[in-house]
Amino acid sequence: MNIKIEPSWKNALEAEFSKPYFQQIALHIKTEIASGATIYPTGSLIFNAFEQTPLSNVKVVILGQDPYHGPNQAMGLSFSVPKGIPPPPSLVNIFKELHQDIGMQIPQHGDLTHWAQQGVLLLNASLTVRAHEANSHSKIGWHQFTDAVISTISAKADQVVFLLWGRFAQNKLPLIDVRKHTVLQSAHPSPLSAFNGFFGCKHFSKTNELLIKAGKDPIDWII
């Protein structure tokens, strides 16, 4: 299967694209579109996280669960929305923590491409979703693919910082070699849980301390 994805990722994940489960993902999406369903993000942005952050550039991984399912929100980067779209509640709380942690002013937009281009892989566990139906593609095979992505990073990269926010993300811990990498865990930034440990986690300043210690450039979190 000829998947249009950034070359370093295509080489690293080539075996996944030929497996039956991945072919089923493609067939499922094509069938839904043919039946009139709207799928987010648009096709050119499904692999946007990989396009913006080649495998050799990955320094940080922020794992989300599902693309946004409202119009014009999903852009293939976890938690991120395009400029001109109001930041959703979880992203608003991420910005609040950044303000408390590093003093960043609350941005006027929610486009996190600047993070991705510095080596922050903004990875959702599912890469597509049906409009207005949260988690509607969570069982079509994407989790097998993104688990392979996490395992590939763990095996091929060095001293990556994984930010696992919430129980869903933390369940991916067995895929990560903690002898090579650092995992920071907290509650999810959702309004339902942010006060249970996300606020005050200081993951952004801690991440930069870890990157500097590893001899890497810190992330400029200001967007």
Q: Which among 66, 147, 217, 220 is annotated as catalytic?
A: 66
For β-strands 129-130 and 60-64, DSSP reports them as: unpaired
- What lies within 8 Å, CB to CB, of 14 at 6+ separation is none
Rounded Cα distance between 61 and 47, Å, is 15
Nearest residue to 204 (alpha-carbon basis) of 156, 147, 163, 172: 163
Rounded Cα distance between 101 and 96, Å, is 9
In 3-state terms, what secondary structure has residue 188? coil
In 3-state terms, what secondary structure has residue 13? coil
Q: 3-state SS of 111-129?
A: CCHHHHCCCEEEEECCCCE
Rounded Cα distance between 123 and 127, Å, is 8
| Catalytic residue status for 217 | no
Residues involved in catalysis: 66
